[in-house]
Amino acid sequence: MTVPQPPEPIPGARLLFSLDPSVSHLNHGSFGAVPIGVQRAQQRLRDEMEANPLRFFTQGLVDRIAHTRRHLAGFLGADPEGTALVGNATTGVAVALQSIGLRPGDEVLTTDHGYGAVRFSVERECRRTGATHRTLHVPLIAGDEEVVEIVRSGLRPGRTKLVVIDQLTSATARLFPAAAVVGVAREQGVPVLVDAAHAPGMLPITVASVGADFWVGNLHKWAYAPRGTAALVVAKPWRERIEPLVVSWEQEAGFPARVEWQATLDYTPWLAAPVGLFTLRSLGVDRVRAHNAALAAYGQRVVGDALGVAPADLPEPGGPTVSMRLIPLPRGVAATKDAAEALRTRIADRLAAEVAVMTWNDRGWLRLCGQVYNTPDEYDRLAVQLPTLLAQR
């Protein structure tokens, strides 16, 4: 099989970012990259805030946040009245978990593809309430029907009080059939929390079409918002039960304001987020998605070939716009979290390339992303240099 052709670059896209040109930034999925225009919009908001903090916080800020929320919810295909802006997806997960009302004997069901910080949050809430956490193993190559059946078989009527499922997994770059999982859980009256940290901007999926009881997604990854911008979307039956992690002055206003207002929080990332969407739309949303997915697929193949990985052993993400790809590392390499972090640092220091090195099921994996500021030669260089670096371990 031949290596897929890389996409044509989007003219001028690289110039929209202030990234260090001496480094190959191949890990957009972890922290994103904020376009220069968005940085400047946020700085203007910070200047406004610092010019008169009392006026900024007390005259119209709640309304400005609500206006921004409506704009962002429209992009996500979510009900603005059921959407709250939060700092990140992990914060949204914590808010939802504490609002479920878990009790001793209840259980929360997750998969082994879940994000580590979400797992910690689930385990903490279970310790606090006396509930239990049960993890389902989902094979990396499992198809959508198998994923749904694994979840269906794992449900325990009367005990399972929440299912947490990823829309696109961080550790394994897998697109999960979140809407189908919501459907089978609903048949047994079990609510579902969808961790869609990577969905906004990357996936052409509306929140309403997923139908989850709780949905959380970051806009500071693939939607070009400043870091600290995410959305928690809650279905109508749960909204009155949602409580913030910290109570502040909008508590009596109910959801979503009671979750959003956190006194002297820096709200400028949220207020500048629409500029990120403007940047994405200016480049062309569909164009960006297709470009990024094709570039990630190219990187996966050239680096996989260099490491001697057969094309059949390169995991497919399950969607035409998924912009993250996984490559298995040789057995014994990055098999623990500490070893994975050490390898990631070595690649950054010696090869001037920022990548993600993951550990999943005691196996090391390299995760590569594609973004409009990347070029095929960055993956080519990594393909040439990485085998030698791994041989030196």
C-alpha 238/C-alpha 236 separation (Å) is 5
Q: Are 64 and 70 in contact (CB under 8 A)?
A: no
**DSSP secondary structure of 227-293:** SS-EEEEE-GGGGGG---SS--TTGGG-TTHHHH--TT---HHHHHHHHHHHHHHHH-HHHHHHHHH
pLDDT band at 393 (very low <50, low <70, confident <90, very high): low
Tell me, what's the pLDDT at 70? 98
Look up tokens 């909204």; give the residue. Answer: 239
Single pTM value for the model: 0.96
pLDDT band at 238 (very low <50, low <70, confident <90, very high): very high
Q: What is the pLDDT of residues 32-75, one digit of tens each?
A: 999 999 999 999 999 999 999 999 999 999 999 999 999 999 99
User: Rounded mean pLDDT of 305-310?
Assistant: 96
**DSSP secondary structure of 294-349:** HHHHHHHHHHHHHTT--GGGSPP-SSTT--EEEEEPPTTTT-SHHHHHHHHHHHHH
Q: What is the pLDDT of residues 10-25, one digit of tens each?
A: 999 999 999 999 999 9
User: Rounded mean pLDDT of 252-276?
Assistant: 96
Tell me, what's the pLDDT at 73? 98
- 44 three-state secondary structure: helix
Closest CA to 68 of 225, 178, 208: 225
The tokens describing 195, both together, are 């961790």
pLDDT band at 313 (very low <50, low <70, confident <90, very high): very high
